[in-house]
Amino acid sequence: MTKIQIKQRPLLTRPEQFQGVPPFIAEILARRGVQSEQELELKLKNLLAPQLKGLETAVALIDQAIDEQKKIVIVGDYDADGATSTALMVLVLRDMGAQVDYLVPDRFKYGYGLTPAIAELAHQTYQPDLLITVDNGISSHAGVDAAHALGMQVVITDHHLTTKETPLAEAVVNPNQLGCEFPSKALAGVGVAFYVLANLASLRNKQNKSTSKVTQYLDLVALGTYADVAVLDYNNRILVDAGVKRIQQHQCRAGILALLDIAGREASSLRAQDLGFVLGPRINAAGRMESMRIGIECLLADTMESAYPIARQLNQLNIERRQIEGEMKQQALSALDSLQLSKEDVPPALILFEENWHQGVIGIVAGRLKEQFHRPTIVFAPDEDGIHIKGSARSIDGVHIRDTIEQVAEQHPELVSHFGGHAAAAGLTIRKENFEAFKTVFVGCIATMDESLFQATLWTDGELPASALQLDTLDWIEQLGPWGQKFPFPQFEGHFKVVDYRWLKETHLKLKLALDQYSFDAIAFNAVGRFEFDPMRDHVHLVYEIDRNAFNGNVNLQLRIVHLNQ
């Protein structure tokens, strides 16, 4: 395990501006850069104005296609963001009376995005007049050209980063395209689709045409945004909060309720984090293990009766995914062990490939290894053609993984066939024969970076006074959510006296702690191998989150231990 330094988050704004909240809450907000009290008001009317480059053209084209009963095909991506974007487009356009179908590339056969092969497949299957991409397309120059050659118009909606000119589609909507002035660059693919459809609905409403109440689908927008680990800036927090509230009130897609029921979760007590840890993985399992059609059909299902069997199938795929992921992670750790890495000589980046690894799970395994070793990590699996291998990259703060891959591609064009993504996560394809050469060049690029980046840091919100360690504090914290990417759930540090301890199932450590005249329960899940606990010492230094522990009808505060040392 990497050695961790513990630091307090710096104040980014002034705590004094937040009136009527306890001082430690004001500090939590200031440490997350909240600019004003207005940012605590998560109302849809506060969403950013729809000033996205290409939006008007896109809306006009789709509007015309609906009026003229042209055939529309949505081309999605095979992750939760792509699935929710596809479902959102299909549902809203159907409400408006459009002739609409969808297509999701099989990730194992076609790879990512609007490729010429996908344009050909869309043409053969549906003969569409208009092709709309969601959550992909910003790099699909050849795919757009192929679609045009087959007589289709193309509207691209995407959010992925690009440093290049956009493809020559009829319209491109992406807050990250060159020349787009939209203030938030953090919209997920489903957020971009939402802006396009909300504006289309408003245009059609003004003209008294068939339209749709797009806000009824904010559950999909929240799920796709959170599951894609989009930065929770003010705009995204409004979207996620609105969607979470709809789910809590059961005003959401039947498929979401079915998935929650199968996972044993109550919709009424859903938190934003559950979108990422309960719903997201089950939707993603479809694209990882089989076909994202299953995930999309679950989200499109109109009744609990039709949603339930599909939700069960997704749950089963997720169980299989977890099993394969566990096996791959063990193999990866064994491969790293065989290199006899000590804590001091972990290389600047971890690049791994095995012939028997599964393409659908490499991203998760890369993420797990990145967490464990605090290094940028790329995990490769074989492609169907036997010539190429596909990689999934995950990165640490301060190392922009997509730009680093681009740097390798520009200096050594022969080493990278395709790539795309974001700062923290990216995907790429290389030739199998180039694996060692790519590894050498990529690790070389990372090795030139500032060494301080490779020091894992655990950021805290400082110490809580003992008197604040109560359920009221947790109520405050929960009201200020949703918490997530770049708006992290508060964690605190403190020194406590150990009154008692016991091991649960020989893996989880349960502690009874004292601070001043107060006593608290605390739990460290999977503590064996993570933390060294010496029962002979009567004090611990903890980093923790506060949580509820409901037992026999009683609800008590519990500290959930994130890090422990003595």
Enclosing H/E stretch for 101 = strand 99-103
Nearest to 80 by CA among 273, 220, 252, 254: 220
Considering the entire predicted model, what is its pTM?
0.93
Based on the domain organization, do 162 and 252 belong to the same domain?
Answer: yes
pLDDT of 228 strictly over 80? yes
Confidence of residue 341 (pLDDT cuts 50, 70, 90): low
Residues 442 and 463 placed together within one structural domain of the fold: no
**CA-to-CA distance for 484 and 230, rounded, in angstroms?**
9
d(CA 153, CA 169) in angstroms, rounded, equals 7
CATH at 516: 2.40.50.460
Task: Provide the token pair at 125.
Answer: 């299957």
474 has a pLDDT exceeding 60: yes
Partners of residue 379 on adjacent β-strands = 352, 392
Integer Cα distance of 408 and 260 in angstroms: 43
Where does a domain end: 227, 257, 287? 257
User: Per-residue pLDDT averaged across 332-360, rounded?
Assistant: 83
Q: Are residues 377 and 467 in the same domain?
A: no
| Predicted confidence (pLDDT) at residue 335 exceeds the cutoff of 90 | no
3-state secondary structure 119-154: HHHHHHHHCCCEEEEECCCCCCHHHHHHHHHCCCEE
342 or 421: which carries more pLDDT confidence?
421
Q: Are 265 and 274 in contact (CB under 8 A)?
A: yes
Strands 508-515 and 518-524: antiparallel
In angstroms, what CA-CA distances link 165 with 111, 141, 342? 22, 9, 45
End-to-end CA distance of the chain: 17
Which of 228, 257, 286 marks a domain boundary? 257
Residue 273, in any domain of the structure: no
Each residue of 129-154: pLDDT tens digit?
A: 999 999 999 999 999 999 999 999 99
Task: Say whether pLDDT at 443 is over 60.
Answer: yes
Same domain, 412 and 553: no
Angle between helices 304-338 and 293-300 (to 10 degrees): 150
Question: Pairing relation of β-strands 388-394 and 377-382?
Answer: antiparallel
Measured over the CA atoms of residue 188, residue 192, residue 195 and residue 200, the dihedral's sign is negative
Q: 502-512, pLDDT tens digit by residue? A: 999 999 999 99
Residues ≥6 apart with Cβ < 8 Å to 423:
161, 395, 400, 401, 402, 403
Mean pLDDT of all residues in 223-252: 97
Look at residue 70 and tell me if it is in a domain: yes
Strand partners, 183: none
State whether 397 and 544 are in the same domain: no
Q: What is the pLDDT of residue 414?
A: 95
Which whole number is the average pLDDT over 85-90? 98
| 112 and 179, same domain (yes or no) | yes
**Domain stops at, among 204, 233, 257:** 257
- Residue 2's pLDDT is what? 59
User: To the nearest whole number, what is the mean pLDDT of the chain?
Assistant: 94
Let me know whether 471 and 504 are in one domain. yes
Average pLDDT of the segment spanning 293-297: 97
Query: What percentage of the chain has pLDDT greater than the value 70?
Result: 99
Q: Quick check: 401 and 141 in contact, CB under 8 A?
A: no
Average of per-residue pLDDT across 10-34: 94
- Residue 155 is assigned to a structural domain of this protein: yes
Of residues 340 and 64, more confidently modeled = 64
pLDDT at 137: 95
Q: What is the DSSP string of 204-244?
A: HHHTT-----GGGGHHHHHHHHHHTT----HHHHHHHHHHH
Does residue 23 lie within any of the structural domains? no
Check whether 340 has a pLDDT greater than 90: no
Residues 150, 147: Cα–Cα separation, whole Å: 5
Residue 385: the pLDDT is: 87
Q: In residues, how long is the chain?
A: 566
308 domain-assigned:
no
pLDDT of residue 342: 55
Q: In what order do the strands lie in the sheet with 350-353?
A: 350-353, 377-382, 388-394, 425-431, 418-421
Counted domains in the chain: 3
Output the six-digit token pair for 300.
């499109």
Whether 226 has a pLDDT exceeding 80, the answer reads: yes
- 418 and 482 within one domain: no
Residue 343's pLDDT is what?
55
564: closest CA among 537, 369, 273, 547?
A: 537
CATH label of the domain that carries residue 418:
3.10.310.30
DSSP β-ladder status, 554-565 and 518-524: parallel
Q: Is the predicted pLDDT of residue 53 greater than 70, yes or no?
A: yes
Confidence tier at 336 by pLDDT (50, 70, 90): confident
Rg (alpha carbons) of the chain, rounded to whole number:
24
Over residues 354-363, mean pLDDT: 93
Q: Are residues 409 and 539 in the same domain?
A: no
**Per-residue pLDDT tens digits for 243-263:** 999 999 999 999 999 999 999
Q: What is the pLDDT of residue 356?
A: 93
Range of the domain at 541: 459-565
Mean pLDDT of 372-389: 93
Tell me the pLDDT band of 420, cut-offs 50, 70 and 90.
confident
For residue 290, being part of any structural domain is answered with no
Q: Which of 269-278, 339-348, 397-406, 454-463 has the lowest mean pLDDT?
A: 339-348
Is 530 inside any structural domain? yes
Are 442 and 464 found together in one domain?
Answer: no
If asked whether residues 196 and 159 sit together in one domain, one would say yes
Instruction: Please give the pLDDT value at position 426.
Output: 92
pLDDT at 344 exceeding the cut of 90: no
Tokens (6 digits) for 415: 């080493």
With helix as H, strand as E and coil as C, how does 166-198 read?
CCCCCEEECCCCCCCCCCCCCCCHHHHHHHHHH
Instruction: Examine the pLDDT at 1 and tell me if it is beyond 90.
Output: no
Q: Would 51 be classed as within a structural domain?
A: yes
pLDDT, average across residues 529-555: 92
439 and 497 together in one domain: no
d(CA 98, CA 257): 27
CATH number at residue 191: 3.90.1640.30
Alpha helices by DSSP H, listed for 263-292, are 272-274, 280-289
Burial of 329 (0-12, 13-18, 19+ CB in 10 A): middle
